[in-house]
């Protein structure tokens, strides 16, 4: 029988790959505490109350039901209010949740309402849909905040989040748990600590979990991996992927580079971006020759040729940095025959960015070879890339499971005095074994063509910025 005690992912501020791992930890916590999972809302690759779409946008909820008991947010609102004696119908709860989602992203990210104005502002949002649910008919609640030690406990529960939690429950208790790395404890001990802290809360009806900054795993790896087995992508992703593979028309290699991870670093200038791009071009050309192929699927996060933002977080970097990212991608696209989403049709670029990432994953998994950017060009460890490599290795891709290209060390002036990368690089497998060497130099003619192409991409970037 399903428990009438619940656990909600109030805020998991990570993009989809990491967010999924943290959500898998909550699944383990729900099983340990014998609580029912309330499926979190989603959007732009994140889970939480600031997102405007239901959980099933990303994942197959039926598959998840084989592992844990769950309810939708609409079911949760109806059941808890009904249990408290409110005279409501299911349609009332559905309308209230729809209103919550309608204002979710606006509340969390609109900067025109400073924190000092939030109480009055939120009071004005007490619409009829929520008033009908009965203000005094809410379940008891508590918040579990997973934090870095330097954080003030309540700081991670931002005003809009307090408002959202107060709509769903009477939250009168907060407990904060430090990241396990501060005390040098392993995941099993960290998990036990979290469980003990929650049990000390005297069994509230609803437990809200907040993890709004990078947090080390607090559950054992085997529990996380078990939960991930039941987090299957929504069926529409493989359906889209099948169409995309048909569109590619035959075997291909995949080239993956999340440029944003470079431009968010101060030391990532245009010189480095162009050298990274040139390394990608040389590696792709060499791999195409080796496998006797001609198609390259380019999985990247830069704004599309139609001006669509693939990643909403790009907006925080400003026009100059977005331009640099577009120029780096243009360098690659001008020199090899790449296929990207905008080459397929307009529908793919208009879907949620995390679904684009899931489609990227599907195509990268089936590629004849998978080339990805080196640490110098991204700067941080990528769970996304690691996950693709792991699945390709399990599928028996062998040496083609993942290769990292090498970045040229210098830019050499061409005949016009402009600096372009020297085409000397080494392609290495993940084990470090050299695969192929290539050498040459960019010509003045190709540089003129590149100048024209970058000018075209500049107008694309400006269009993307105008949509902010």
CA distance 6 to 139: 10
Going residue by residue through the chain, which has 468 residues, state the pLDDT in tens, using 9 for 90 and above: 688 999 999 888 777 777 888 899 999 999 999 999 999 888 766 777 777 778 887 889 999 999 999 999 999 999 998 888 878 888 888 888 887 777 765 555 554 444 444 444 444 444 555 555 655 678 999 998 887 766 666 555 667 778 788 888 888 888 888 777 666 678 888 899 889 999 998 889 999 998 866 566 788 889 999 999 998 888 877 777 787 788 788 899 999 998 888 888 888 899 999 999 999 999 999 999 999 999 999 988 887 655 566 666 666 777 788 888 888 888 898 888 888 766 665 555 556 666 777 788 888 999 999 999 998 998 777 778 888 898 899 888 888 889 999 999 876 543 344 455 443 333 333 333 333 323 333 333 343 333 333 344 444 334 333 433
What is the per-residue pLDDT for 445? 39
**Residues 45/19, Cβ–Cβ less than 8 Å:** yes
Instruction: List all residues 6 or more positions away from 70 whose beta carbon is below 8 Å from its beta carbon.
Output: 36, 37, 38, 39, 61, 64
What is the per-residue pLDDT for 6? 96
**Residue pointed to by tokens 């399990």:** 394
CA distance 122 to 273: 44
What is the per-residue pLDDT for 413? 47
User: Beta strands 369-372 and 253-257: pairing type?
Assistant: parallel
**Residues 76/44, Cβ–Cβ less than 8 Å:** no
Distances (CA, A) of 83 to 126, 137, 173, 202, 344: 22, 9, 21, 19, 50
**Residues 38/71, Cβ–Cβ less than 8 Å:** yes
CA distance 38 to 344: 36
What is the per-residue pLDDT for 62? 92
**Residues 228/24, Cβ–Cβ less than 8 Å:** yes
What is the per-residue pLDDT for 403? 92
Q: 240: closest CA among 389, 337, 402, 349? A: 349
**Rg, the chain, Cα only:** 24
Burial of 202 (C-beta count, 10 Å sphere; 0-12/13-18/19+): exposed
Extract the tokens encoding 256: 């993956």
What is the per-residue pLDDT for 135? 55
**Residue pointed to by tokens 């408290």:** 84
Instruction: List all residues 6 or more positions away from 215 whose beta carbon is below 8 Å from its beta carbon.
Output: 22, 146, 147, 148, 179
Which 3-state string (H, E, C) describes the chain?
A: CCCCCEEEEEEECCCHHHHHHHHHHHHHHHHHHCCEEECCCEECCEEECCCCECHHHCECHHHHCCCCCEECHHHHHHHHHHHCCCCCCHHHHHHHHHHHHHHHHHHHHCCCCCHHHHHHHHHCCCCHHHHCCCCCCCCEEEEEEEECCCCCHHHHCCHHHHHHHHHHCEEEEEEEEECHHHCCCCHHHHHHHHHHHHHCCCCCCEEEEEECCCCCCCCCHHHHHHHHHCCCECCHHHHHHHHHHHHHCCCCEEEEECCHHHHCCCCCCHHHHHHHHHHHHHHHHHHHHHHCCCCEEEEECCCCCCCCCCCHHHHHHHHHHHHHHHHHHHHHHHHCCEECHHHHCHHHHCCCHHHHHHHHHHHHHHCCEEEECCHHHHCCCCHHHHHHHHHHHHCCCHHHCCEEECCCCCEEECCCCCEEEECCEEEEECCCCEEEEECCECCHHHHHHHHHHHHHHHHHHHHHHHCC
CA distance 340 to 272: 23
**Residues 192/219, Cβ–Cβ less than 8 Å:** no
What is the per-residue pLDDT for 255? 94
CA distance 370 to 387: 12
The pTM of this model reads 0.67
């Amino acid at each position: 029988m399903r428990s009438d005690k619940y656990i909600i992912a109030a805020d998991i501020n990570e993009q989809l790959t990491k967010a999924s791992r943290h959500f898998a930890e909550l699944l383990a916590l729900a099983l340990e505490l014998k609580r029912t999972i309330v499926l979190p809302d989603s959007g732009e690759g994140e889970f939480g109350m600031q997102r405007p779409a239901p959980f099933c946008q990303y994942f197959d909820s039926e598959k998840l039901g084989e592992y844990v008991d769950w309810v939708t947010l609409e079911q949760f609102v109806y059941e808890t209010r009904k249990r408290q004696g409110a005279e409501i119908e299911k349609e009332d709860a559905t309308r209230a949740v729809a209103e919550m989602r309608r204002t979710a992203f606006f509340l969390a990210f609109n900067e025109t309402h400073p924190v000092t104005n939030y109480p009055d502002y939120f009071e004005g949002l007490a619409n009829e849909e929520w008033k009908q649910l009965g203000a005094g008919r809410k379940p008891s609640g508590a918040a579990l905040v997973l934090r870095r030690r330097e954080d003030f406990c309540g700081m991670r529960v931002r005003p809009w989040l307090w408002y959202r939690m107060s709509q769903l429950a009477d939250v009168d208790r907060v407990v904060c748990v430090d990241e396990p790395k501060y005390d040098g404890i392993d995941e099993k001990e960290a998990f036990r600590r979290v469980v003990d802290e929650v049990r000390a809360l005297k069994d509230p009806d609803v437990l809200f979990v907040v993890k709004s900054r990078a947090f080390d795993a607090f559950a054992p790896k085997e529990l996380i991996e078990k939960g991930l087995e039941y987090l299957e992508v929504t069926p529409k992703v493989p359906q889209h992927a099948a169409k995309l593979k048909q569109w590619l028309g035959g075997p291909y290699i995949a080239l993956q580079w999340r440029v944003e991870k470079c431009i968010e670093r101060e030391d990532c200038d245009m010189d480095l971006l162009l050298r990274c791009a040139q390394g990608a071009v040389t590696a792709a050309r060499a791999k195409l020759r080796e496998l006797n192929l001609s198609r390259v699927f380019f999985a990247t996060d830069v704004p599309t040729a139609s001006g669509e933002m693939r990643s909403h977080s790009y907006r925080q970097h400003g026009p100059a940095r977005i331009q640099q990212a577009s120029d780096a991608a243009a360098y690659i696209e001008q020199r090899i025959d790449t296929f990207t989403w905008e080459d397929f049709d307009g529908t793919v670029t208009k879907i949620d960015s995390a679904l684009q990432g899931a489609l990227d994953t599907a195509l990268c998994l089936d590629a004849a070879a998978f080339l990805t950017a080196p640490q110098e060009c991204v700067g941080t460890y990528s769970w996304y890339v690691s996950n693709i490599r792991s699945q390709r290795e399990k599928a028996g891709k062998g040496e083609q499971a993942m290769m990292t290209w090498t970045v040229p060390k210098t830019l050499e002036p061409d005949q016009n005095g402009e600096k372009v990368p020297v085409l000397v690089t080494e392609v290495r497998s993940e084990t470090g074994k050299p695969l192929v060497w290539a050498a040459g130099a960019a010509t003045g003619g190709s540089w003129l063509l590149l100048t024209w192409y970058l000018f075209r991409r500049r107008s694309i970037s400006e269009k993307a910025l105008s949509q902010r």
